[in-house]
Structure 1
Amino acid sequence: MLRGIDNRLTPDLLRHLKAMGHGDDLVVADANFPGDSCGARIEYLPGVSATEALEAILSLLPLDPYVDAPARTMQVVGDANAVPEVVGQFQEIINRVADQPAPIKGVERFAFYEESKQAYVVVQTAETRLYGNIILKKGIVPPN
């Protein structure tokens, strides 16, 4: 164990977070998400919800302030304007934890899958709530 690092973050996930560069994407995925089909790299967080994973990841990962949508979720099929409870919780976590809070942008389901295929890593959680998926674009850590 280390001080100041959330215990829900595994050693392998910490390595991926460190290895990611500015502009790389990370997907936090629910239990239904086709992670193995969409991700070249996949890390599993069994027993961890998507909201818990998001909070832990954002404690270390900066969001990219130079893009329009550094946080994107999958739109509800048939109702693109619906905001599932889990997505509302994602926004609350971003507002509270992220260094650069930003509004979440919805992405059509199949476009979300295509964006996920380009992500640096997919973090598959035990989240059972539908639409518990979010893509984060990594920002920069400025010099001290």
Structure 2
Amino acid sequence: MLKGIPPIISPDLMKILMEMGHGDEIVLADGNFPAASHAQRLVRCDGHGISELLAAILKFLPIDTYVEHPIGVMAVVPGDPVQPTIWKEYEAIIQDNGETCPIDYIERFEFYERAKKAYAVVATSEKALYANIILKKGVI
């Protein structure tokens, strides 16, 4: 055990966060996301939701300030009546961590393609629909 590291951050996840460089992306995937088939590196975080995980990760991971949209979520598919409420939670968590960047809304299949290129995908048990989020690592 180490001091100050939230228990939700597993050794495997901490290793991934440490390995990532400026501009690398990490996907926090909800329970419906095809994580295993889209990941170059897959980290399991079963039993946890994305909001709790996002809050813990942002304590360590600097967000890229050199791009317009360093944070993105999967946009609602046109015609789908779902109105994701989890995005408001994400905005609050991001602001609580001192970040001011706007969230980008990425079309579903474009999101999948970015996930395939991401440094890692973290598979969670998040039940909220459209809860997937991409974070681009910045510099300290």
TM-score bracket, normalised by the shorter chain, equals over 0.9
C-alpha distance in structure 1 between counterparts of 2:126 and 2:62, whole Å:
23
Residues 91-127 of structure 1, C-alpha deviation per residue, up to 9 Å, x if partnerless? 1111112x43311110000000001111000011110
1:22 aligns with 2:22: yes
Equivalent residue runs for 1:1-144 within 5 Å: 1-78=1-78, 84-97=84-97, 99-141=98-140
Q: SS of the counterpart of 1:92?
A: helix
Contact 1:64 1:100 in 2 (8 A): no
* TM-score of the aligned structures, taking structure 1 as reference length: 0.92
Q: Flag as ranges the 4+ runs of structure 1 deviating above 2 A.
A: none
Percent of residue pairs identical: 45
C-alpha distance in structure 2 between counterparts of 1:119 and 1:69, whole Å:
15
CA RMSD of aligned residues (A): 1.4
One-letter amino acid matched to 2:111:
F
Q: How far is 1:49 from its partner?
A: 0.2
Residues 14-42 of structure 1, C-alpha deviation per residue, up to 9 Å, x if partnerless? 00000000000000000000001111101
C-alpha distance in structure 2 between counterparts of 1:55 and 1:101, whole Å:
15
C-alpha distance in structure 1 between counterparts of 2:106 and 2:26, whole Å:
15
C-alpha distance in structure 1 between counterparts of 2:83 and 2:66, whole Å:
25
Q: How far is 1:88 from its partner?
A: 1.3
One-letter amino acid matched to 1:32:
N
Contact 1:65 1:100 in 2 (8 A): no
Q: Which runs of 5+ in 1 are unaligned?
A: none
C-alpha distance in structure 2 between counterparts of 1:112 and 1:105, whole Å:
11
* TM-score of the aligned structures, taking structure 2 as reference length: 0.94
Q: How far is 1:83 from its partner?
A: 5.4
One-letter amino acid matched to 2:71:
A
Q: How far is 1:72 from its partner?
A: 0.2
